[in-house]
């Protein structure tokens, strides 16, 4: 089976404050469903209050990031699914729960992962 990344940037989720609890519960329900179906691998939200670090091959740490990922935030999950069509169905469930479109990406096959 193939692993898929389903994600959205934080700015895509425009939910009124009074609806946030309902959206959170709906999103958690989809994740519980994915776990019950045995397709859930990992997921979560990027903590926007903690700045990213760049760690070089020699271990040097700097307070920066790649320019193209400067605004990498939001939520994501990784699901292991039998087909791209199944991944699209799960992405649609998450999009409905989160009230925003989801980006779907397929991981390349790696027998070591």
Q: Give me the percent of the chain exceeding a pLDDT of 70.
A: 100
CB within 8 Å of 46: residues ≥ 6 apart: 10, 72, 73, 74, 75, 76
Domains of the chain: 2-106 (3.30.70.1060)
pLDDT tens column, 46-96:
888 888 899 999 999 999 988 887 777 889 999 999 999 999 999 999 999
Neighbours of 81 (CB within 10 A): 21
Tell me if the pTM is above 0.95: no
Report H helices in 2-112: 20-37, 84-98
Q: Is 78 helix (H, G, I), strand (E, B) or coil?
A: strand
């Amino acid at each position: 089976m193939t692993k898929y990344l389903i994600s959205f940037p934080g700015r895509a989720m425009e939910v009124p404050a009074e609806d946030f609890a309902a959206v959170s519960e709906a999103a958690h329900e989809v994740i519980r469903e994915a776990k019950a179906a045995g397709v859930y691998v990992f997921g979560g939200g990027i903590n926007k209050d903690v700045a990213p670090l760049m760690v070089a091959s020699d271990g040097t740490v700097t307070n920066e990031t790649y320019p193209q990922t400067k605004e990498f935030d939001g939520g994501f999950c990784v699901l292991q699914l039998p087909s791209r069509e199944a991944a699209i169905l799960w992405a649609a469930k998450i999009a409905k729960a989160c009230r925003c479109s989801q980006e779907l990406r397929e991981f390349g096959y790696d027998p070591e992962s």
